[in-house]
């Protein structure tokens, strides 16, 4: 479907505004004097990185198209991976008062010692597959590598979305890795952004492959989407935005097959732990913890907005933008509620009533919405 340049520019502008909001909120948070390296934060993220990102978003990279080849892109990704590892190695996880790293470690410790993992004192809030994905890195002694894997997966999504040969791939990588919230996630060995990327990657595979002429396509795509959903509940608004665009292109049989397969994939990793100790899992497990972070009315409103958007959207780029906006909006509402009730210091400076890291859920979707696909590589007319 043809899309006017005005709409493309509006989506780019909106995505950059949301990106700028996430960027500035984290600079604000870590510029307080009681934070580690406040002067360095202002120097790097206030003075050095903004001009780099502005240059990346300009037309300058287009003059080096022949140099920015697929091999160069792979080299950039490899260099960024090394940089992430070097940054992570500078911080001792035991000295960081962030609960997501201990949750990843303790969950796996308990599981591999034959104990129910959700009894963990760190109160792990993710669904089982999230922790199972971290298991190989737990065996290697560094669960923070899950976030590095998330970056590599995002690099693939960007390559798939923009198309080979597009200079936009480099722009989006710089936007992603240049966000201060990404550096924070790497340093503290968190998995919020990686979790969002897992869901985004499953949706990108669906975008590319949903129209393959095979009766097994809705089966394996449904399983993939269900497994991605069994990491954390943020999948719900994103799926409500994006999946209606795919399903409306297919018949009822395809839709039912995909949804049933997705439900099976979702329950595949959840069921063993729910059956292990149903009473505890129901009362104190991941559903209970995740629902405690969002008021029922906000969940209902976000789900309604997401579904309404999904029913009218015709472009995946718009879907990425709306998904990021909804995720950003949920966290922003929670932040405003905390600011009104507890004030700036308790909300932002000391993190007592609000965790700004949850804005990371929106980051991959917002970044991807900055640029459209390379039309010559777009798999379906609706993905332009």
Smallest CA-to-CA distance from 84 within 235, 216, 185, 224 is with 185
CA separation for the pair 162, 71 (Å, rounded): 15
> Torsion angle, CA of 185/189/193/196, rounded to 10 degrees?
-170
Three-state SS for 45? helix
Secondary structure (DSSP) of 200-221: HHHHHHHHHHTT-S-TTHHHHH
Radius of gyration of the chain (CA): 20
| pLDDT tens digit sequence for 85-142 | 999 999 887 777 788 999 999 999 999 999 999 999 989 999 999 999 999 999 999 9
Per the prediction, the chain carries an average pLDDT of: 91
Compute φ and ψ for 266, nearest 5 degrees: -65, -45
Determine the Cα angle at 287 with ends 285 and 293, to 5°. 110
- What's the pTM value of the predicted model, to 2 decimals? 0.93
CA separation for the pair 140, 131 (Å, rounded): 14
The whole-number pLDDT of residue 382 equals 38
Q: What sections of the chain are H helices per DSSP? A: 5-29, 38-42, 49-57, 70-88, 100-112, 128-140, 145-162, 168-178, 180-187, 192-209, 217-229, 235-247, 252-276, 278-284, 286-292, 296-312, 316-344, 363-368
Smallest CA-to-CA distance from 204 within 155, 167, 249 is with 155
| pLDDT tens digit sequence for 313-366 | 999 999 999 999 999 999 999 999 999 999 999 999 888 889 999 999 999 999
């Amino acid at each position: 479907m043809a899309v006017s340049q005005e709409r493309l520019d509006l989506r780019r502008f909106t995505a950059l505004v949301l990106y700028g909001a996430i960027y500035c909120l984290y600079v604000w948070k870590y510029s307080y004097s009681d934070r580690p390296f406040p002067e360095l934060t202002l120097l790097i993220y206030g003075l050095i990185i903004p001009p780099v990102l502005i240059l990346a978003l300009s037309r300058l990279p287009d003059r080096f198209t022949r140099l920015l080849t697929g091999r160069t892109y792979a080299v950039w990704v490899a260099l960024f991976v090394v940089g992430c590892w070097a940054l992570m190695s500078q911080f001792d996880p035991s000295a960081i008062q962030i609960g997501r790293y201990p949750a990843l470690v303790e969950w796996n410790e308990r599981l591999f010692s034959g104990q129910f993992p959700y009894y963990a004192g760190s109160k792990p809030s993710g669904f089982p597959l999230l922790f199972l994905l971290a298991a190989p890195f737990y065996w290697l002694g560094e669960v923070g590598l899950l976030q590095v894997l998330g970056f590599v997966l995002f690099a693939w999504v960007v390559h798939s979305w923009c198309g080979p040969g597009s200079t936009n791939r480099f722009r989006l990588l710089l936007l992603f890795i240049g966000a201060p919230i990404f550096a924070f996630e790497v340093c503290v060995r968190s998995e919020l952004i990686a979790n969002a990327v897992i869901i985004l990657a499953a949706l990108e595979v669906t975008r590319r492959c949903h129209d393959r002429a095979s009766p097994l396509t809705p089966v394996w795509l449904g399983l993939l989407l269900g497994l991605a959903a069994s990491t954390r509940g943020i999948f719900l608004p994103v799926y409500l935005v994006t999946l209606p665009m795919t399903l409306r292109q297919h018949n009822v049989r395809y839709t039912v097959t995909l949804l049933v397969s997705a439900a099976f994939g979702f329950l595949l990793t959840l069921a063993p732990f729910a059956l292990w100790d149903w009473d505890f899992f129901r009362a104190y497990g991941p559903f209970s913890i995740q629902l405690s972070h969002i008021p029922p009315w906000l969940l209902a409103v976000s789900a309604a907005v997401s579904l309404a958007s999904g029913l009218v959207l015709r472009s995946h780029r718009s879907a990425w933008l709306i998904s990021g906006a909804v995720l950003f909006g949920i966290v922003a509402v929670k932040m405003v509620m905390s600011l009104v009730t507890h004030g700036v210091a308790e909300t932002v400076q000391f993190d007592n009533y609000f965790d700004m890291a949850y804005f990371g859920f929106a980051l991959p979707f917002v970044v991807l919405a900055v640029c459209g696909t390379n039309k010559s590589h777009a798999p379906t007319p609706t993905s332009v």
